[in-house]
Amino acid sequence: MNIDINFLGILIGAIMASSVPLILAALGELITERSGVLNLGVEGMMIIGAISGFALMVITDNLFLAIIGSMLSGLLLSFIFGFLTQSLLTNHVATGLALTIFGIGLSAMIGKDFVGIPGKQFPLLFVNLKEAIPFFGPIFFGHSIVFYFAFLLPFGTNYFLKKTKIGLIVRAVGDSPVSAANQGINVLLVRYCCILYGGAMCGLGGAYLSLIYTPQWIENMTAGRGWIALALVVFATWSPLKVLVGAIIFGGITILQLHMQAMGIRIPVQFLSALPYIMTIVVLVIISRDSRKIKLNTPTSLGQIFYKEK
């Protein structure tokens, strides 16, 4: 194979596109977890986002509505989770798992009539520049608006958590809800907002799959990406920028191993299939081995039930 520079650019562009759903879902979950709530329903919210987005696209023929609808449906599902864990004080882990199972089942039921309908081409931006500039063109241009949003989001999230007052409040609630409550912060409100935001982002991540990446609806089409996103948050030690690195490595090796197969490199295929998982963990463990920094980022009250003493 002859590696020409433009091909390399196309490859990098493809890798970045494949990591978009992971970035969105993981960063949504990151905010939820930073407020001290562990929502294991990521996969369920993603798949609901995927089917709602696709169904709305078919019914209304409007991609903007479809994107908004997918976020709202993820938000709605996370509201159920929020109500159960925050207002009824149920266990986070059990409720989250139930949410995933519920989401997968519900999406299959809604999706019954939408199987086998071809999707619509999502508008891509800067297509001219993609062709015009070698190497950098295919990396940075000719993508959907959601793609650009996803790659700005880690920086925005980082800024939000570190530099803004509301970010500080979210972190305070996650570290010590009791102290935060004593400071007059409405812990429930903050946590509800973070849960709903997480749900909306997961819904968007799912819609990216069904509307942009592989424009169609197929049962269980998220295929475990929600779980990968959850793992990314933990291995990235709750740091938005490391989530970005992890998502790109995972997407990158998934695609590279397919290319290596197509090139005929003689490595056992099963090993290549396992490689994305192994490499992502290894790299994230290496870049986050500073235990002091981990402590700084880990929400101390993660997954604990909080109720206000009267």
Q: Which is nearer to another protein, 269 or 282 (CB)?
A: 269
- Mask for 183-212, x = binds another protein (CB under 8 A): --------------------------x---
Q: Which is nearer to another protein, 14 or 65 (CB)?
A: 14
Least separation in angstroms between residue 117's CB and another protein is 9
Q: Which residues contact 247 (CB under 8 A, 6 or more apart)?
A: 19, 22, 23, 26, 232
Report which secondary-structure segment, H or E, holds 256: helix 240-263
Least separation in angstroms between residue 1's CB and another protein is 7
Rounded Cα gap, residues 266 and 23, in angstroms:
32
| Coil, helix or strand at residue 37 | coil
CA angle 286, 242, 179 (to 5 degrees): 105
Asked if residue 54 binds another protein (CB under 8 A), the reply is: no
Asked if residue 263 binds another protein (CB under 8 A), the reply is: yes
Tokens 């400071």 identify what position? 183
Q: Which is nearer to another protein, 273 or 304 (CB)?
A: 273
Q: Which is nearer to another protein, 225 or 242 (CB)?
A: 225
The correct pick among 163, 165, 266, 292 for binding another protein (CB under 8 A) is: 266
Q: Which is nearer to another protein, 114 or 306 (CB)?
A: 114
Please give the full DSSP string across 141-198, using - where no structure is assigned.
Answer: SS--HHHHHHHHHHHHHHHHHHHSHHHHHHHHHHH-HHHHHHTT--HHHHHHHHHHHH
| Footprint on this chain of another protein (rule: CB under 8 A) | 1, 7, 10-11, 14, 18, 108, 112-113, 115-116, 118-119, 209, 213-216, 218-219, 221, 223, 225, 254-255, 258-259, 261-264, 266, 268-270, 273
